[in-house]
Amino acid sequence: MSVSASTMGRKSGAQHIGFIIAASSVGTLIEWYDFYLYGVLAVFFGAHFFSPNLNPSIAFIASLFVFWTGFLVRPFGAVLFGHLGDLIGRKFTFMLTLALMGLATFLVGCLPVYATIGALAPVLLVACRVVQGLALGGEYGGAATYIAEHAPDGRRGLYTSWIQTTATFGIVLALLVILAFRLGMGDADFSAYGWRYPFLLSAILVILSGYIRLRLQESPLFAQLKSQGKASHNPVKETYSSGRNVGKMLIALFGATAPEGVVWYTGQFYALFYLTTILKVPYVQAYVMLMIALIFGSTGFIFFGWLSDKIGRKWIMTAGFALAVLTYIPVFETMLSYKDSPVVLTLLVFYMVILVTMVYGPIAAFLVEFFPAKIRYSSMSLPYHIGNGVFGGLVPAAGASLAATSLAVASLPLVGVIGPLVGLLYPMGIAALGVVVSLTAIPNTTSETKIWDEVGGRRKPPLVPDQP
């Protein structure tokens, strides 16, 4: 029996799509803020949580690998919370991940340092990063699925693109908060103890976003799936015991999420690392340039999400991967040539942010459409978090490590030519793989993909307005 959008709206007391997007996005933004505070402040963790006998460069690289630890466990969070999301519901699961993220982030601000407890300090830091990574592993899939399952078939790319902006604005919020504390306290006090305050502040932000999310109802598509008896009774088994589904996850990983992840982290985190450590741009100037590029460039998420509804997700993402392969080295070489020109540097970072929006704006809609509703949360979360967490999260540490060792291998032909830019070979290689897999194995999904057909009806505009 066909189920109309208006009938479902009356049965579920449907909420306005604007509130759904805002409530989902604000929680995700706070989780990204929490997660990326560490990345921006990695140099301080290197100084405080590792032995003072370590070379500062080695301590910094060690702190980046601790940063990566949070990414490594994201796939495990995707399995755990994906199972809960497909079994119990989308809302319950992303409320739980928000609480875990907030608690772990608050505890980072309370941790004793190496001078106080010795080698236990980095162990506790890793433990907090593990909890953060597990929580984030469940957050994104839940929020993206939740919005997508409220959206009409013809606008899924546009509506889910809003959730894509939260990762970028999470970085912007982290930069603003850190900058405010650093300028307000002075570098000496901030380095000594002020680095804790941005983490402690997250407790207030999590409580506020949790209150907003409590007002959300369950996804109407998932609710309909359960009422029809079509929901999975064992999402983990159904997701990972099916060879066809595992094959689709591998295609999604190597053709979409891994290349998207390395483009994302190169255009934002590696760019910041390059500005501050290679070009020696003062941190205030580097933060401001990155924030300007991110704020203005973030409009690309919405544009490319909207465009993907018209021409398809695949071609936009593949073009972004290809441009990254072709232009990264020229872009970073130009940054080196114009290191004393803030305007040029900002424009170059802006360009890299546009590439981020090309590969990231359409990806939530693509992943939602690529997998069936009954195991969607589980199936899309794992490749997303392996791609972004393992492959993408390695970019800062890999780039720093390769740059630090480039002098030792300068005799190799390619390394000798590009010098410190050797760190770019890693993201460029993954992006090139993405081009090949995407062109050969990924369908060009558009607004013609009808995920509502799985529950016997199709949600189409106009959306159900707020109900009294």
- How far apart are alpha carbons 361 and 161 in whole angstroms? 5
* 276 vs 13, residue with greater confidence: 276
Say what the pLDDT of residue 14 is. Answer: 54
Q: How far is CA 209 from the centre of its chain?
A: 18
What is the overall mean pLDDT for the chain? 83
* Encoded tokens for 450: 């009808």
- The string of pLDDT tens digits covering residues 365-374 is 899 888 887 7
Arithmetic mean of pLDDT, 94-98 = 83
Is pLDDT at 10 greater than 60 in this prediction?
no
Q: What is the pLDDT of residues 212-262, one digit of tens each?
A: 888 877 777 777 777 777 777 788 888 888 888 899 999 999 999 999 999
pLDDT tier at 315 (50, 70, 90 boundaries)? very high
- 21 confidence band (pLDDT: 50, 70, 90): confident
Of 375 and 354, the structure prediction assigns the larger pLDDT to: 354
Tens digits of per-residue pLDDT, 165-211? 888 888 889 889 999 999 999 989 999 999 999 999 988 888 888 88
Q: Once rounded to an integer, what is the mean pLDDT over residues 129-139?
A: 84
Q: What is the pLDDT of residue 17?
A: 82
Structure tokens at 36: 């990326």
User: Cα dist. 444→145, 354, 370, 447 in Å?
Assistant: 19, 21, 10, 10
pLDDT tens digits along 152-176? 777 889 999 988 888 888 888 988 9
pLDDT of residue 461: 44
pLDDT higher than threshold 90 for residue 341? yes
Confidence (pLDDT) at 460: 47
Q: Which residues contact 97 (CB under 8 A, 6 or more apart)?
A: 31, 77, 81, 135, 136, 137, 138, 139, 142
Question: Which of 214, 208, 209, 219 has the alpha carbon at shortest distance from 27?
Answer: 209
Give the closest residue to 430 by CA, choosing from 364, 386, 371.
386
> Which pLDDT belongs to residue 447?
60
Band of pLDDT at residue 6, cut at 50, 70 and 90: very low
Where does the pLDDT of residue 91 fall: very low under 50, low under 70, confident under 90, or very high at 90 and above?
A: confident
What local confidence, expressed as pLDDT, does residue 393 receive? 78
Q: Could you read off the pLDDT of 41-60 as tens digits, one per residue?
A: 888 888 889 888 888 888 88
Per-residue H/E/C for the chain: CCCCHHHHHHHHCCCCHHHHHHHHHHHHHHHHHHHHHHHHCHHHHHHHCCCCCCCHHHHHHHHHHHHHHHHHCHHHHHHHHHHHHHHCCHHHHHHHHHHHHHHHHHHHCCCCCHHHHCCHHHHHHHHHHHHHHHHHHHHHHHHHHHHHCCCCHHHHHHHHHHHHHHHHHHHHHHHHHHHHHHHHHCHHHHHHCHHHHHHHHHHHHHHHHHHHHCCCCCCHHHHHHHHCCCCCCCHHHHHHCCHHHHHHHHHHHHHHHHHHHHHHHHHHHHHHHHHHHHCCCCHHHHHHHHHHHHHHHCHHHHHHHHHHHHHCHHHHHHHHHHHHHHHHHHHHHHHHHCCCCHHHHHHHHHHHHHHHHHHHCCHHHHHHHHCCHHHHHHHHHHHHHHHHHHHHCHHHHHHHHHHHHHHHHCCCHHHHHHHHHHHHHHHHHHHHHHHHHHHHHCCCCCCCCCHHHHHCCCCCCCCCCCCC
Higher pLDDT, 398 or 78: 78
Contact criterion met (CB below 8 Å) for 367 and 256: yes
The pLDDT, as a whole number, for residue 307 is 95
Chain-centroid distance, C-alpha 392 = 9
Task: Answer yes or no: are the C-beta atoms of 426 and 414 closer than 8 Å.
Answer: no
- Walk me through the domains of the chain, giving residue ranges and CATH numbers: 15-446 (1.20.1250.20)
Is residue 338 very low, low, confident or very high in pLDDT (cuts 50, 70, 90)?
very high
Whether the CB-CB separation of 298 and 306 falls below 8 Å is answered with no
Angle at 154 between CA 361 and CA 321, to 5 degrees: 25
Phi, psi of 361 (to 5 degrees): -55, -45
pLDDT of residue 416: 47
**pLDDT at position 453:** 67
pLDDT of residue 467: 39
pLDDT of residue 193: 92
* % pLDDT > 90, the chain: 34
